[in-house]
């Protein structure tokens, strides 16, 4: 059985660490935005921002009528489809390309976990996968100017 390791060497939360109100991700104290969903620290969601814009499928939106009297949902949906889906794109300075063949070719060379985290990016210089919060590549130190945004 492998032992869990923590980047800080600590095996517990430290003062100031916080859970995102949107996705419940645990964030380190120094972060002002969630490193999973990019929500601002302390930001909350409302019925208008969440339930009205979630769909079971293209034809069945969540509405107040699909809720119990206490506004909890009648059942857990099997599939939720977001309104806006993000597709990988190549960003080179001010130019944005969505050429899927070119992107697939580059991504085929990238060693990466199949995590699908929004905002992560691939450096075009060294094909390294970087977390969304990085402003420069952690392998070749190039600035985040020419990259593929996932």
Residue 71 or 102, more confident: 102
The whole-chain average pLDDT of the chain stands at: 69
Q: Does residue 8 have a pLDDT over 80?
A: no
Q: Does residue 58 have a pLDDT over 70?
A: no
Q: Is the pTM of this model over 0.75?
A: no
Beta bridge partners of 89: 149
Residue 9 or 20, more confident: 20
**Could you count the other beta carbons within 10 Å of the beta carbon of residue 101?**
7
Domain ranges of the chain: 14-44, 46-84, 89-149
113-137 mean pLDDT = 82
Q: Which two tokens stand for residue 24?
A: 């419940």
The reported pLDDT for the residue numbered 136 is 92
pLDDT-derived band at 49 (thresholds 50, 70, 90) equals: very low
The reported pLDDT for the residue numbered 7 is 54
């Amino acid at each position: 059985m492998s032992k869990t390791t923590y980047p800080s060497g600590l095996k517990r939360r430290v003062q100031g660490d916080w859970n995102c109100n949107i996705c419940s991700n645990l964030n380190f104290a120094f972060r002002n935005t969630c490193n999973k969903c990019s929500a601002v620290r302390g930001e909350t969601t409302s019925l208008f921002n969440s339930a009205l814009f979630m769909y079971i499928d293209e034809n069945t939106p969540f509405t107040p009528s699909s809720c119990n009297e206490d506004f909890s949902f009648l059942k857990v949906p099997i599939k939720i489809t977001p309104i806006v889906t993000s597709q990988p794109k190549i960003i080179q300075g001010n130019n944005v390309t969505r050429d899927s063949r070119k992107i697939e070719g580059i991504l085929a060379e990238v060693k990466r976990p199949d995590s699908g985290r929004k905002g992560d990016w691939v450096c075009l210089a060294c094909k390294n996968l970087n977390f969304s919060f990085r402003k420069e590549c952690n392998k070749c130190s190039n600035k985040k100017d020419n990259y593929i945004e996932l």
